[in-house]
């Protein structure tokens, strides 16, 4: 039935042939010894773990879901999840990109992100348990005190403890300035935290000995709004200074959310009733610290949809090659059979190629961005760090929104390839659609990402970040301007770059007169810029494929065919998006609320 093969060849293509990450790593002292063989070996073993340990638990975990004992408030994940996590810890996988000072292996984030793509393909619901721990680790590494780091980071690194982020409350989601959870200072320097949090992924389970909750709450004298939020560590079990566990803290799961998808992950309503916590960072500056975790999560969510797109594509291709229905319109292709495999039909191919183009384009964008993140975090040159950090800031909302939108499109197409079987649970395809749908919502809805991109990341700095990325595109176009073989790729790329520049200027001018113009155009605008980034990476991939197609390796033939499909069938969507972005706010706001 369902199957999964880690896409190691395509990962290696992006890592080594397209981006040449090893050369970039050599500029970072901590990664200078990381070579291509090491990267490939780690990912090969990671792929085995994903395919052999996690993938077999995906459909069964979805069917079983999680169980809450209302008397003890303990949550049991699906059968096999705890044992898989034990193997994950035993293999040292939680430590892959963590700091050696805390027991980590010190490999680049780029390698870890590729590993996580495979985990997400294999079992997104399971992967969310350790995935959130990485975000907690990074937030504490950036903002924790030396004592907090010494206590919590080794345990998060080893995987002995997991982590969560507790933001959302019943009355507020994205608008965190409205949160009501309270933190009362205690004489010993700790805080007692009271409140309710909802939608907390991996909020309660028995897979690890302790859960480190990072909780947003208000101090008694905090100012109103987002400037009055502080961040606290609230562990499930209060930890002693030596890392041993003490008494159970006053934080528990009150209920499990009944969800459309990701059934194998415990999405909890968490109750805090005077739970003991410790302050992270400065009072009333909690959002600054939490944004470390939130930005990591936004990259991670884009990676979740990439993983789902890849595995849905693989299964749909296998089905399309095997399932026979009708004859090709141009004549029988398998005359020895009563009908042709459905892969001969043009629209089936369109659906498959859409998923493939979005998977391979998304992989290139994510790997590039996380390679930039490695530079931003560790490069010795401050100017390089700043430039890379700006690019990561620009591309993060695109990764979160564009790739998750594409994941929804792709998984829906792949389910459609199966016809009626796609709607049946045991084939696995409808689960990918259900799981993909959450990725467009959580960690900031895709509308919020679009507002962030256009309002804050682009108009907020007068287009500085966009211009810097646009300069890379312009340089590539100029370099390939006389290459006849590349004209089918660089000409539409250059044309779209010009259109984005004009559209950005136009929207900026409109926003001066009415800020709602940003809200009216943002979603369409992000999708246009998303296509600009994909077109850039697809043009670069086409260049490599053209140079190497003489090798006889069918990989490059397929890469070139997919690039041509993307430019011919998917990129033209930008024409309608630009038109709707320009249509303005009036059609949206003209109707009186009473008429809705």
Nearest to 81 by CA among 263, 312, 300, 311: 263
83 is annotated as an active-site residue: no
Token reading at 302: 């884009």
Asked if 87 and 56 count as a contact pair (C-beta separation under 8 A), the reply is: no
Question: 214: which strand partners?
Answer: 165, 233
Q: How far apart are CA 557 and CA 551, in angstroms?
A: 10
How many Cβ atoms are within 10 Å of 322's Cβ, its own excluded? 10
Q: What is the DSSP letter of 173?
A: S
Asked if 517 and 587 count as a contact pair (C-beta separation under 8 A), the reply is: no
- By CB atoms closer than 10 A (0-12, 13-18, 19+), residue 349 is middle
For 238, the enclosing helix (H) or strand (E) is strand 237-239
Active-site entry in 310, 360, 391, 443? 443
Cα-flanking dihedrals φ and ψ of residue 263, to 5°? -65, -30
Distances (CA, A) of 94 to 104, 169, 307, 553: 8, 29, 19, 35
Place of tokens 């395919």: 51
3-state secondary structure labels for all residues of 350-383: HHHHHHHHHHHHHHHHHHHHHHHHHHHHHCCCHH
Sorted by sequence, the CB contacts under 8 Å of residue 440 that are 6+ apart come out as 401, 404, 405, 408, 446
Q: How far apart are CA 478 and CA 473, in angstroms?
A: 9
Asked if 243 and 155 count as a contact pair (C-beta separation under 8 A), the reply is: yes
Q: Which residues are catalytic?
A: 443
């Amino acid at each position: 039935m369902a199957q999964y093969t880690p896409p190691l060849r395509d990962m290696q293509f992006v890592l080594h042939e397209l981006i040449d990450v090893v050369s970039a790593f050599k500029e970072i002292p901590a990664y200078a010894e990381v070579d291509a063989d090491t990267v490939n070996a780690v990912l090969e073993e990671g792929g085995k773990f994903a395919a052999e340990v996690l993938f077999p638990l995906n459909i069964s975990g979805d069917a079983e879901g999680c169980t809450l004992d209302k008397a003890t408030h303990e949550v049991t994940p699906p059968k096999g999840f705890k044992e898989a996590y034990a193997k994950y810890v035993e293999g040292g996988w939680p430590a892959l990109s963590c700091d050696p000072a805390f027991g980590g292996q010190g490999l680049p984030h780029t390698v870890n992100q590729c590993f996580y793509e495979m985990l997400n393909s294999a079992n997104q619901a399971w992967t969310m348990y350790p995935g959130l721990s990485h975000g907690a680790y990074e937030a504490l590494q950036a903002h924790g005190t030396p004592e907090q780091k010494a206590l919590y980071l080794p345990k998060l690194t080893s995987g002995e403890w997991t982590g969560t982020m507790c933001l959302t409350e019943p009355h507020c989601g994205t608008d965190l300035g409205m949160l009501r959870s309270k933190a009362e200072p205690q004489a010993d320097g700790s805080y007692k935290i009271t409140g309710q949090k909802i939608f907390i992924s991996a909020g309660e389970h028995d897979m690890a000995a302790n859960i480190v909750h990072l909780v947003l709450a208000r101090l008694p004298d905090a100012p109103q709004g987002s400037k009055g939020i502080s961040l606290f560590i609230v562990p499930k079990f209060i930890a002693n200074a030596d890392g041993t566990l003490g008494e159970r803290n006053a934080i528990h799961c009150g209920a499990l959310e009944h969800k459309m998808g990701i059934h194998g992950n415990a999405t909890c309503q968490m109750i805090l009733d005077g739970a003991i916590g410790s302050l992270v960072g400065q009072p009333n500056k909690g959002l600054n610290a939490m944004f470390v975790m939130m930005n990591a999560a936004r990259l991670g969510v884009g990676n979740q949809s990439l993983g789902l797109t890849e595995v849905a594509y693989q299964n749909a291709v296998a089905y399309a090659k095997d399932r026979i229905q009708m004859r090709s319109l141009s004549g029988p292709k398998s005359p020895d059979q009563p009908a042709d495999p459905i892969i001969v039909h043009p629209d089936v191919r369109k659906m498959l190629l859409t998923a493939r183009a979005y998977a391979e384009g998304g992989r290139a964008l994510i790997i590039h961005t996380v390679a930039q993140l490695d530079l931003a975090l560790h490069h010795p040159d401050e100017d390089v760090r700043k430039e890379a950090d700006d690019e990561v800031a620009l591309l993060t909302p695109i990764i979160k929104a564009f790739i998750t939108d594409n994941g929804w499109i792709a998984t829906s197409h792949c389910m459609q390839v199966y016809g009626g079987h796609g709607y049946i649970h045991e084939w696995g395809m409808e689960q990918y659609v259900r799981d993909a749908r959450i990725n467009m919502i959580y960690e900031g809805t895709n509308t919020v990402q679009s507002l962030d991109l256009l309002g804050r990341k682009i108009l907020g700095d007068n287009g500085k970040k966009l211009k810097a990325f646009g300069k890379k595109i312009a340089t590539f176009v100029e370099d390939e301007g006389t290459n006849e073989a590349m004209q089918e790729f660089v000409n539409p790329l250059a044309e779209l770059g010009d259109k984005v520049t004009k559209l950005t200027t136009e929207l900026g001018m409109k926003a001066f007169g009415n800020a709602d113009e940003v809200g009216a155009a943002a979603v369409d605008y992000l999708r246009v810029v998303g296509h600009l980034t994909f077109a850039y990476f697809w043009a670069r991939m086409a260049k490599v494929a053209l140079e190497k197609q003489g090798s006889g390796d069918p990989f490059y033939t397929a890469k070139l065919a997919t690039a041509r499909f993307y430019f011919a069938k998917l990129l033209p969507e930008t024409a309608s998006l630009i038109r709707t972005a320009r249509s303005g706010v009036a059609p949206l706001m003209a109707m009186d609320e009473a008429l809705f």
